Amino acid sequence: MSIILGRLTLLSAVLLAAACGGAAPDGDPDAAPVEIQVRWVTDSLPADVEVSIFETTADDRLGATASFAPGEPIALGAPIADGVLRTDFDEPARFVVLLTNGSSESFSFWAAPHLALPIQAESDLVITCLCTGELYEVEAGGSWRRVVEYGLSQRSEVREPLSITHVFTRGDLPAPD
């Protein structure tokens, strides 16, 4: 059942990303040449869960992951409200993913492998990701954060805005075949 749910959720991510597309660059010569729209599919998580992204702080290390109890302070940079990372080729944008559990239940989750669109960009991504094969936990009313980075290599032929979609899946990791 969880495999079927995972496949349906991944299909949802594909359809969502394809339907949303991305805005074309506006021709501003000072704009960063790489734009990456970060998207989330959280259908299997409690309804009161919010995922957002922030700039890093000076103390943030790539890959640092932590869970926080309700009310515990969380160091965050400025919010990236539009969900779009702007950077140069070969210079990945480092940021913090924050999952806030506003529900009254604790849960475990994992991140399915990301989907990059256009798909041609996948082999040229410069990425330290969420899809680590790890099971994460967040308590009721608590939060979880991870420092990641996304970028695109100069060798990529893709010169349009990208989207990277992650599916957060509630429950245990799938058993290996």
Summarised one tens digit per residue, pLDDT across range 108-128 is: 999 998 999 999 999 999 999
pLDDT above 70 (res 26): no
At 14 the three-state DSSP class reads helix
Per the listing, tokens 């100069």 go with: 154
- With a CB cutoff of 8 Å and minimum separation 6, the contacts of 121 are 152, 156, 158, 162
CATH for 2-22+32-170, options being 1.10.3450, 2.60.40, 1.10.287, 2.60.370: 2.60.370
pLDDT above 90 (res 3): no
Which pLDDT band, with edges at 50, 70 and 90, does 7 fall under?
A: very low
* CA pair distance 105, 133, nearest whole angstrom: 23
Query: What residue type is 71 in one-letter code?
Result: G
The mean predicted confidence, pLDDT, of the chain is 85
pLDDT above 80 (res 22): no
pLDDT above 70 (res 2): no
Give the residue extent of every domain in the chain.
Answer: 2-22+32-170
Which pLDDT band, with edges at 50, 70 and 90, does 90 fall under?
A: very high
